[in-house]
Structure 1
């Protein structure tokens, strides 16, 4: 569990993890946004040359996280599957084998925009599928970063990255968490997802992921 960074959000103590996820000890919950399982397979069906093995590598990271942390529930903040083409035999077989290894784990998917196109996960995966917002304790969990009338929002969708500027023209783009009083963002969990460079506001804090740690960005 080395490398995590503890933060407080509306009274909830959360651990920002270098695997681009959040662990919520009080809920014994692991939170993940934008896994986009089956994205590479969907692209290959369109004839695009993309890497193999992304589903296996993402599931290996997920296995490791579940082994490290006491988890009773896993919550996907949208975009579990990438597209209709993601529901191919190889991807579904890998997901089914993973689910069999964690049959006692409660899994909830908050539908994202890609989930609405791809369709809900097969019933065999035994997911609870809900619409946003899904309120857990003092937080509204969502896919889209839209304000909630009463609670701070923890969302995905954006795939935030932050550009660290070095000397001269040197720079580095790193996945990041963006935390604000009313809106906070998780980085994309998936290994083949891309990223959107964010410019945080005055009341937002950025935590970049790199070298197996989570680092606060000084401002």
Structure 2
């Protein structure tokens, strides 16, 4: 299966990526929601025994996407850093090294709720930080999944997940994209994040992510 699925929304083509992101070909833009860089570091600073290497892993996945798709603009739909403790030296060193590898890339952060608490990224990372909404093509890009007065919204914040049911008691819970006429949701990009179960409705499309592929849930 291909690592992306092309859909039409508001007259535009979007590619839903198996790496839990959206590529917008017409704008050569990559949309990432809820990276939560430095989340594990923040928890370790609080004394919690959580895994190491999550920031490096997330950045490697991001490197892979930037190599695979022609991208001039990377847009984070909120929650770039997880908490004030995410400004740890190791996390920032990894982010600086990543930025040097992509020095010509335009990077924008739409400030989310965790960004307001964590503080903006250091200015020498050259990330433009803006309030929501950011208008791009026919879309309003936001962190919060609230309707825009005139445009369909692409948002994050919720970390949507969907339950698939098999025979007997078999069930599988996977990250998903929720595509709707007014507000659509991206899954959380960060590996060390939870998720909120969403329901399929008459006017929504659910696309689940797993095993390197994207497919529409029935």
**Residues 18-48 of structure 1: per-residue CA shift (max 9 Å, x gap):** 0000000000000000000000000001011
Residues matched between the structures, number: 218
Q: Which runs of 4+ in 1 moved over 6 A?
A: none
**How far is the alpha carbon of 1:200 from its aligned partner?**
2.6
| Within-5 A mapping of 1:150-189 | 150-189=150-189
**Residues in 2 aligned to 1:141 and 1:31: alpha-carbon distance in whole angstroms:** 9
Which residue in 2 is equivalent to 1:90? 90
Residue in 2 that maps onto 1:124: 124
Residues 53-202 of structure 1: pairs in structure 2 closer than 5 A: 53-202=53-202
The two structures have a TM-score, normalised by structure 1, of: 0.98
How far the C-alpha of 1:2 sits from its partner, in A, is 2.9
Secondary structure of residue in 1 paired with 2:150: coil
Match of 2:19 in 1: 19
Tell me, in whole angstroms, the C-alpha distance in 2 between the residues paired with 1:28 and 1:205. 24
What runs of 5+ residues in structure 1 fail to find an aligned partner? none
Whether 1:207 and 2:207 are equivalent positions in the alignment is: yes
Alignment root-mean-square deviation, CA:
0.9
Q: Deviations over 1:105-147 (max 9, x none)?
A: 0000000000000000001100110000111110000000001
Which deviates more, 195-204 or 170-179? 195-204
* CA distance in 2: counterparts of 1:175 and 1:65, whole angstroms: 18
Secondary structure of the residue aligned to 1:140 is: strand
- How far did residue 85 of structure 1 move? 0.2
Does the residue aligned with 1:94 lie in a helix, a strand or coil?
A: helix
For 2:111 and 2:158, locate their aligned partners in 1 and report how far apart those are by CA, in whole Å.
Answer: 15
